[in-house]
Structure formats: C-alpha cells, structure tokens
Amino acid sequence: MKKILVIFFLMMLVPSIVSATVNLDFRLDVEEKGFYPNEKVPLDVTVVNRDSTFTAGDAELTVYISDRFYTFDLGDLKPGETFEEKITLPEFPPATHTIKGEINYTGILDERFIKTTYGSFEVLFPPIERYPRNVYVSNYDLPEKIIGGKDYDVGITIINDGEVSANLLIEFGSLDEFFTEETTLNSGESTTVKMNVKFENSGVSLIEARVYTVINGEKYLLNYRGKKTYVQGERKAKLIFDKIEFVDEADNKINQEDIVKFRIFLKNEGETATNVMGELLSTIGEINILDKIVSYLTILKKDSVAPSEDIFEIETSDIEAGDYELNLKLTYADSEDREKEIKIPITISEGGDSCYKDTDCSEAETCKNNQCIKVECVDGYVKDRECIKYECVRDSQCSEFQACNSQIHKCVEKTGCIKIVDNGHSNDKADFLFIGAEFSNPEELKETISELLDLKGDTKYPGLFSVEPFKSNKDKFNIWMIKAPDYSVSDSTSCSNSCGKVVDFSQDSIYASQCPNADFTITIFKEANFRSCAGGGQWSSLSCQEPYSRGRLILHETGHSFGRLADEYVEPSKGSRPWGPNCADTLTDAQQMWGDLVGIGKVDFFKGCSYTDDNYRATKNSLMRSHYSATTYGPVNERAIKKIIEKYK
C-alpha cells in the first residue's frame, strides 16, 4: 500500500502555507466527426510543462470517459518537457461522450495539485432500419476478491426497454481477457446471462460488461458498465517435511519410555508462505504431545526452516518399538489463507537412554534406575542438573512497553514500532502510525494518542473516533506508535513560523521505515510551536492548539490526508484552488458533485471554499471549514470519507 506521510503538531490550527502551481498545457483531442458504435475512437493526449523554472513532480495522468479510465505515470515533468500519447478507445454506444482528463502532481512546496481539462466526441445511431435502442446492462456481479487463474461464476442482467427485438452478443472481461455469450432479447424482456470467467492478468483494471447487437454479421455496441477491480496474482506455497533435529537429546533417538524435544524442518518448493503455524497431533495413545504448537513465521521459496527457540516436545510410554507417523497441521498464507496436513515419520527405539551414573547422561539429565531422565525445568534452563528460572520467556511476563529478549530472557524496553490498537491483519485494515516527536515516555505518548483519537470513548473533548464516519468504523483501523525523542525542528518558538521552513520531513521516513505496515504516518510534536500547514493529502502539521480543540483539529487534518478533502474556509491571499469532492469552482460542477444530496443534512450550494468566495461548498459549516465551531463533516464529506474506508474490512 502506498505510504502517505501526515504530520500533526499539537496545539492551534493556522491555515496552509502559500504554494504555487506549475504552468501545464493539457489537451485532449479527438477527430471532429461522428463515430458509429462499431468504430474505435482515436484520442490524442498532450501535456506540456510551459513553466521555465519548476518541475511538476510525480505527475500522474488519468483520462475518464464514463466508467472507463486510463492511467499513465508521467514521472517528473521538467520545464519545457512534453508528454504525448495516442490512445485507441474501444467502441462506445450512441451518445455525446465527455472526456475528462486529470493530472495529479506535486507543486513547488510539495503540495499536490490537480489540473483538469475536458473534451468530447459524438457517437451516432447507424442508419439501419429497426436498430435496437434502450437495451442496457442493468447489473453484473463480481466476487469481493479475485485471484488470477481461478474460475468465477458471474451473472450479467440485460434489459430491453426498446421496441425492437435484438440479437445480442454479451462480452465480459478486462483488457484482452473477454468472454462472450449470445442471446436474443425481445422488446420488454430482461435476462441474466451466466458466464464462467477466469482472469490471468493481475493488477488494477476496469472489468466491463458490454452488450452488442449483431446485424448482418457486424456488431454494434448498445451499452456497457464497468467496475474498477484488483485482480491478485495467484501464489502457491508447497510445504513438505524435510527432517527432524533433536534438541538436547544425548542418544539422538526417541525411546520407548522417553521425553524428547525436537525441531521439524519444513521445505518450501513453491512461492513464499507467511504466517506459518504448525500444530503437531498424535492419533497414537502411547505418544503424548507435550508442546504441540510452533510458529515458523515466513518460509521463502527453496528454504528449509525450523524455529530456533519454538520446539516440539513428545512423551512416549509403553509403546512397541517401530516406525510411526505424527500429523503436522499447517496454517499459512500465500495468495490465500490455506490449511494442509503433512505426515511426520518417527522411529521408536527399544528401551531408554541407559546409564550407571549422572555423567553418563547429558547435563540436563540425571541417572535414575539406569535410565537418563530429563530434569524438569519449565521457563528456565538446566545448569549442573538444576533448573534455573528465566526472568521471562514471553512478552506477557513483561510490562506493556517492555518485551522479553529471547536471547537473554530479560524484560527490556520495546524499541521501534508498537501496536497499541489491534483490529486485525494489516492487509485488511487502515494502519495509522503516530511518531511521538520529543516524546521519551511511552505511557505519555500512548495517553496523548488515546485522547486525540478518543480511544476510550470518555475523552472530555471530541477525538477522531468521536465523529462519523470514523466512529462507526473504528474497527477498521490499527493504531501504531513509535517514540522519536530526538526529532528536531528549527526556530519553533513562534506560532507564526512556517512549518515548511521549520520541519525537516525526511526525519519521518527514517522512523516510518521501522513500521512497514503503516499506511498513514502522523507525527505529534510535544513542545514545538509554529504555523500549521497541510500539503494536498501528502502531509500536514498542527501547532499552537488549546486542549479543547486538539481532537477537532485531527478531524480536520485527517479530512485532508485520509479523506482527500479541500479546505472550506476563505483566505483570499492563497488564491483559488478548488479540488476534492467537496469544493467546486462552478455551480454546474457543484450540482454534478453533490446535487443528489441537496436537502439532506442541510446540503445546498454555499459560496466560499478553497480560499475564495467564487467557489462552492455543500454545507454552511463543517469540520473542513472550522474545527472550532463545527462538530460534523456533513453529508458530502462523510460520503467521500466512507468511500475510502470501504476499502478496508
């Protein structure tokens, strides 16, 4: 998941620093003619950086035509540099089609900007007698998770609301992977076409359902629907038994009356397996499994692995000598969560380890009745045939911010990334990392984060999880923290200082690199004072805030960084910069963006947004306009944030 660095500084909100856009010339050109629904449409894309000084950094171009989209990574567009691309669009149904192009890039002060341009083309009804009209795809279903190479059953529902019966060709798929089915649909009828599909091309793509009419052997597109979907590549691990290695066993055997510790090595002849857990099971009454569960963590391709500390232990009693099998139940993940069971061969030898005195046995055994008997020692080690207890053998024996060092078996202070709210696997959750700049006490940092987020639900002032849509989706977030007592700033004594001149944001990357699961990084400064700023969803910093407004401020800035929302206040010195789903530069755009919500929660069209009175916002007040006086995001902003939250489980 792409990481987004977001910096929060406790105290008072001051609006974003002034920044500048780059002068880009952006064109979408289509031949001025009428196309027919059996013709592909050529589109010329041209982007020129006409700025003589500045580069448009990390530029990404997306072209939208209805449900269809095309994305290009332009990299850094240097002054005077030109990007040109010729795109062949597929067939379109009869209509006037609007083309929207967006370039998202980094400006002079590391803020993100969006440059938009439009084009259009017209697709005509062909001059064919009794040409079907009003035939459309009303719905199609897709599984929540698609893995390349696996079969899936889908259903595409087609409705004929026209007056002409039609011979139809249904296509379903993505890129060059399309599946077809033919049907005939009379006027006023509907049908659901069933298909068995398999996608081989992994990655993000648009999966479409298309309906064509076939006339005189020629197919004409009548309608289509598309959904943006991620197809995962299938990876399969192949875990097999490799060998057994005995631990502290003098004769390296399993005897008839014996307690034996050993490691089971697993070999992986397939792709990487993660979260590998093994549970040793016995169906033989005379073999008792004393320590049955171990963690293999990750087993790479072609590796043979056994845990170094986590080992199995069995006890044999009154069993005949011979060859037996134990069962090792494995759970692991490759492209999917999987389970399998493999056989572990063992041999039981006659008798036990024979001895006449203690020195005939290992240092962890004593000689009793001419048999070497292991010294019982739980959570410790044997020295001179006596059990010496460890200070700890597991983290649960230490305090919250301590961990058990498995090498010295002592409780030591945790370093690096610490998970303080665990709602599940990071693949399914939004992982927020808080960097505690100037914090040396982990308890103080955790309490500060708890208040900001209202984790306990009893904070005196509102926090992130006090307000919708975060409140009802609290279980979709994991929260991490890391101390950064040496994080430094310069000239941080005045709230009027610009954060862009005070903070060296490269320090965040150093700390965030210790927390690879983090999706969003939030740096909290304990003492520093300077002017707050935000950068187009890439980072934000907060300072000079009173305690009562801290939680509301994190709501405002998370609206930028997580929800991709624009400011809704007016500050003319910044110029007009409408962007995001909550700020439009024209009433027409505003009606398209949130016209469907007008009348709900006092949604309307209000002047004043993205720093000027010329732009439009959806509500009179919201957390994106004033975190001091507002208590909610409002329906339009909530909808935008919910769409992002829906990606998580």
Counting the structural domains of the chain, the total is 3
Whether residue 305 has pLDDT greater than 90 = yes
Whether residue 459 has pLDDT greater than 90 = no
CATH number at residue 209: 2.60.40.10
pLDDT of residue 490: 82
C-alpha distance from residue 264 to each of 220, 293, 550, 614 (Å): 63, 11, 53, 70
Query: Is 560 in the same domain as 508?
Result: yes
pLDDT of residue 206: 82
DSSP state letter for 227: E
Whether residue 11 has pLDDT greater than 60 = no
What digits encode the pLDDT tens for the residues 441-458?
A: 999 999 989 988 998 887
Residue 594 belongs to a domain = yes
Domain boundary pick from 359, 386, 413:
386
What does the radius of gyration of the chain's CA atoms come to, in whole angstroms? 32
Beta bridge partners of 617: 606
What digits encode the pLDDT tens for the residues 213-222?
A: 999 889 999 9
Q: Comparing 497 with 30, which gets the higher pLDDT?
A: 30
Whether residue 268 has pLDDT greater than 80 = yes
Query: Is 244 in the same domain as 221?
Result: no
CA 513 from chain center: how many Å?
16
Query: Is 329 in the same domain as 430?
Result: no
CA 117 from chain center: how many Å?
30
pLDDT of residue 535: 52
**Distance of alpha carbon 182 from alpha carbon 213, whole angstroms:** 10
pLDDT of residue 510: 87
Contacts of 91 (CB under 8 A, 6+ apart): 37, 38, 39, 40, 41, 220, 221
Query: Is 227 in the same domain as 245?
Result: no
Whether residue 8 has pLDDT greater than 50 = no
User: Which of 18-22, 108-112, 574-578, 608-612 has the weakest average pLDDT?
Assistant: 18-22
pLDDT of residue 237: 93
Q: What is the end-to-end Cα distance of the chain in Å, rounded?
A: 15
Q: Model's pTM, two decimal places?
A: 0.44
**Domain containing residue 179:** 135-232
Whether residue 271 has pLDDT greater than 70 = yes
Which residue, chain included where needed, has tokens 């002409």? 164
Confidence class for position 531, pLDDT limits 50, 70, 90: low
Residue 292 belongs to a domain = yes
Residue 635: which H helix or E strand, with range? helix 635-645
User: Which of 72-86, 366-380, 490-504 has the weakest average pLDDT?
Assistant: 490-504
Whether residue 540 has pLDDT greater than 70 = no
Half-sphere exposure of 352 (CA within 13 A, CB side): 22
Q: How many CB atoms lie within 10 A of CB 257?
A: 14
pLDDT of residue 9: 43
Whether residue 536 has pLDDT greater than 50 = no
Residue 360 belongs to a domain = yes
User: Which of 122-126, 184-188, 297-301, 379-383 has the weakest average pLDDT?
Assistant: 379-383
Domain boundary pick from 232, 254, 284:
232
Half-sphere exposure of 55 (CA within 13 A, CB side): 9
Query: Is 183 in the same domain as 264?
Result: no
Confidence class for position 423, pLDDT limits 50, 70, 90: very high
Region 29-48: mean pLDDT is: 92
Contact 242, 265 (CB under 8 A): yes
Query: Is 273 in the same domain as 332?
Result: yes
Whether residue 552 has pLDDT greater than 60 = yes
Query: Is 257 in the same domain as 289?
Result: yes
Residue 67 belongs to a domain = no
Beta bridge partners of 142: none
Residue 408 belongs to a domain = no
Region 256-279: mean pLDDT is: 92
Beta bridge partners of 348: 254, 322
Q: Comparing 625 with 511, which gets the higher pLDDT?
A: 625
User: Which of 34-38, 85-89, 531-535 has the weakest average pLDDT?
Assistant: 531-535
Domain boundary pick from 208, 232, 256:
232
pLDDT of residue 368: 80
Residue 13 belongs to a domain = no
pLDDT of residue 502: 80
Q: Comparing 352 with 538, which gets the higher pLDDT?
A: 352
Query: Is 171 in the same domain as 306?
Result: no
User: Which of 15-29, 48-62, 137-151 has the weakest average pLDDT?
Assistant: 15-29
What residue type is 191 in one-letter code?
T
What digits encode the pLDDT tens for the residues 335-374?
A: 888 999 999 999 998 876 667 788 877 777 888 877 777 7
Region 7-18: mean pLDDT is: 41
Confidence class for position 16, pLDDT limits 50, 70, 90: very low
